A and B are shown apart, each in its own frame.
Chain A
Amino acid sequence: MKRRALRRLSLLLLALTLLAGVSACKKGEESGLAGTVLFQDQPLSGAQIEIYLKEEQDRATLPFATTSSDAAGRYRIALPTGRYYLIAKKKVEGSGGPTRMLMAAAPLNPLDLPGGSKEVAPFNLREMGRDGALVAEAGTGVKGRIVHDNQPVGNAFVYVYSEKSAGLIGPSYGEAVRSAADGTFAIPLPAGNFYLAARKRADGARSGDVAVGDLNGRWHGNPVTLQHGETIDLGDFKVSIVEAESRKERWQQGKFAPTDTTLRGRMVDQDGKAVRGVYAFAYLDSRMVGKPVYISAATGDDGRFELRLSDGGTYYIGARSTFGGPLEPGEWVGTYDARPNHMVAVKKGEVLDLDKIVVREVW
């Protein structure tokens, strides 16, 4: 059943991709983004496609451009060369039932548009709760047990992603639950396809980079396909220890890959002493909230950091000793303060020395 559904989805995606290719060719030189939006793997018509110039938390501002998806879930929007954030949403008025809001950001945001027509990978919208979490359906979900070396792993986090294009890392998960002391977990979910990952960090954090010695794993049967009213028992979900070599490989990929556009500097305390274990974060939004676009590796004993950017532009720089979440006592925190708004402008191909970022401990 699952295999058949996957095959149908693959065929659908293939067909849509081919159609998109033809469409893009026909459009010739016109610059813009095109793609397909889905809901529960079916094309979604009438979805509002919004284009922003900034990170998702700036949705209160008016979008830069909008369009809507057609009967086949397709959209196309003319845009000049640039970098964009694409968000799709649709309000579904219930017939007697509650109004539902479907929403998702393109998993590969931000989307660089160097010119011409660019096809955005299809992605599913999901139903949003008040807090942005997935809205579970009665009797629907997954359960299982996190194990390492056949031993149960308590206090691990199990993450549910709706998309796999972000590599099942980062804060784009729709749900995260902590396993009980006996390693068991149960996650209520809506029907649909989900990708599961599990991690247990030494510091107990829900988010942040995994370190050598942490436990990490992806469910071997991804994606998990849930029907309405179905709860699937996954059984044992194995995680393994993060080894130094595999972590090193990961750091050579994605946001940590070396680039020719770099911001660098030193993290120091108020006495000018180097501070170890602090990350630099680059945002496109001056408020510096939500998910940063770039993150450095943690500073070493010399306090030095490098923020490797894929493009030049204007960034807002902050620094913390942990990833995300509310500030906790004992944490180091600071901002790049050469300008009051923490902004720095860097050209593509430029290596810019920010000198120092002063961080302080929060108590």
Chain B
Amino acid sequence: MKKLLVLCLLLLGAAPALALTLSRDTTWQGERKIGEEVRVESGATLTIRPGSRITFHGGHLEVAGRLVAEDVDFSGSGWGGILLKGCDSTTIIRNCRITGAKTGLFIGGGAPRIEGTTLENNEVGIELKQQSSAAISLCRISGNRKVGLFIKDESSPHVSGCTISKNGKYGVYIYRAQPAAFTGNTLSENDTALMISNAGSDPRIQGNIFSQNKIAILVDRAARPLLTGNLLRDNQTGVRLYRRADAAIDGNRFEKNNEALSIAYSSYPRIHYNDFVANRRAITLEFQSSRWEKSNGSTVRESEAESRGAFGQGSGHAADAEARRRPDAELDGTIDARHNWWGEQESRELNRIGTSGNPTFIDDGRDAPTFVDGGKEWPLDRVNFTPWQSAPNRRARESL
């Protein structure tokens, strides 16, 4: 009889669990196999003891109450991940590992704390929505197929001290959201390390290291971040500004990038007090013309907006971008890049050619005066690099 009971318990332990609702405080320890949805009801706490291994064969873990997991391995193949729905800061995922999920960690609202956790080999590592103000610190977000950290829907998380590398499309994607802090992170070997997109995405990106990415920071569609005190080194492109991306780029260090700054399609940044060191090219302008913007900008965007549909013709946010147009008076055919230090060799070149010269490290309207659009030639803008700094900027050094 006793043997039979033991056998039954063993069988129960080995069999995948079915749908499970936890409506009271529960503690898990050891190994557990999950085959369906596990839901932690509001008011209940699921505590998972250190050293536990939770393996999912489909299903997901949804928490409307509270989750406390430390040193836990969550794994599976194509499982639904952990969904934190409105969890407050008493929900803590610390030093855990989440792998093989569609979305490793979905955070809908609330302010849970994710600390020292590895999110690896998921489709998406972490996705934040519903104005979440989660705190994500010291995490390793790596090798996720699409996006490492997806910040959407007016979320305002604190993201600090994370290592974000080798993610498929984007290391971090900020879409219509504004992280309260994005600092002290290292982003490397991503296709695009940090994407900041669409009006409403105006975060302060401060004190991060971007290295060996194809594009370190891509700013698109009327987003206006402040990029300050970052080190961008050994990337193919340091910062790419695209489609009315009027970023403020202040006190960063661009070092050994193939192209430090690329500016295209009616983007008018402010580039001050940065250090440019040993980049193949400091600034490149493409399809960038104040005159084109004044003549065609509004019309083209309106026409794009009208032709957009619900099934892939575009994002439909042109109106937002339009509302954020700079006054025409600022569109004077120049890009404001004053007070930068352009490097030792470059500084010598500037001293030689003077303020009216054509620096070899800047590719602008001095090199290709016009470009063709709609069968018409438009003047390419020029970079205003005067005055320049004669020594590295303290601001760029100190903020790192």
Partner-B contacts on A (CB < 8 A): 148-149, 151, 153-155, 202-204, 212-213, 241, 244, 281, 287-289, 318-320, 324, 326-330, 333-335, 360-363
A202-B83 in contact given A154-B109, A318-B311, A320-B311 (Cβ < 8 Å): yes
Q: Evaluate contact between A204 and B316: CB separation under 8 angstroms.
A: no
Q: Are A204 and B43 in contact (CB under 8 A)?
A: no
Say what secondary structure dominates the interface of chain B.
loop
Give complex CA distance A151, B66 in Å.
Answer: 14
Q: Decide: A151 and B43 in contact? CB cutoff 8 A.
A: yes
Residues of A with C-beta under 8 A to B173 = 329-330
Contact of B108 with A288 in the complex, beta carbons under 8 Å: no
B108 touches A335 (CB 8 A): no
**B146 close to A288 (CB less than 8 A):** no
Name the residue of chain B whose CB is nearest to the CB of A214. B85
> In the docked arrangement, what's the CA distance between A281 and B310, Å?
11
Residues of chain B contacted by A362 (CB below 8 angstroms): 312, 315
Please give the distance in Å from B361's CB to the nearest CB on chain A.
Answer: 31
A289 touches B39 (CB 8 A): no
**Complex-state Cα separation, A49 to B296, whole angstroms:** 41
Decide: A148 and B42 in contact? CB cutoff 8 A. yes
| Count of chain A to chain B residue pairs whose CB atoms are closer than 8 Å in the complex | 80
CB within 8 Å of A: which of B89-145? 106, 108-109, 124, 129-131
Within 8 A of A (CB), among B144-186: 146-147, 150, 152-153, 169-170, 173, 175
- Could you tell me if A329 and B197 are in contact, using CB atoms closer than 8 angstroms? yes
The main secondary structure of chain A at its interface with chain B is loop
Flag if A289 contacts B124 (CB, 8 Å): no
- Please judge, given known A-B contacts A154-B86, A155-B109, A155-B130, whether A326 and B311 are in contact too, CB under 8 Å: no
Of A149, A154, A329, A360, the contact of B175 (CB 8 Å cutoff)? A329
In the bound complex, residues from chain A placing their C-beta under 8 Å from that of B43 are 149, 151
Check A363–B169 contact: CB distance below 8 A. yes
CB nearest to A301 among chain B residues: B78
Return chain A residues, CB-CB under 8 Å to B150.
Answer: 329-330
Report if B62 contacts A (CB, 8 A).
Answer: yes
User: B317 within 8 Å of A by Cβ?
Assistant: yes
Question: Are A151's CB and B129's CB within 8 A?
Answer: no
Contact A330 B124 (CB under 8 A): yes
What are 5 contact pairs spanning A and B, CB under 8 A?
A149-B43, A155-B130, A287-B309, A328-B315, A360-B312
Contact (Cβ within 8 A) B309 A202: no
Contact (Cβ within 8 A) B86 A155: yes
Bound: A362/B197 CA distance, A: 13
Contact A330 B147 (CB under 8 A): yes
Name B312's contact: one of A149, A324, A334 (CB within 8 Å).
A334
B147 & A333 in contact (Cβ 8 Å cutoff): no
Q: Answer yes or no: B216 CB below 8 A from chain A CBs.
A: no
Contact B129 A319 (CB under 8 A): no
Q: Using A151-B42, A288-B309, A329-B197 as known contacts, say yes or no to A202 and B85 having CB atoms under 8 A apart.
A: yes
**Using a CB-CB cutoff of 8 Å, which residues 1-49 of chain B contact chain A?**
19, 37, 39, 42-43
- The answer to whether B130 touches A327 (Cβ under 8 A) is no
- Cβ–Cβ contact B315 & A204, under 8 A: no
Q: Which residues of B contact A360 (CB under 8 A)?
A: 312
CB distance from B198 to the nearest CB of A (A): 9
Residues of A within 8 A of B64 (CB): 213, 241
Contacts of A148 in B (CB 8 A): 42
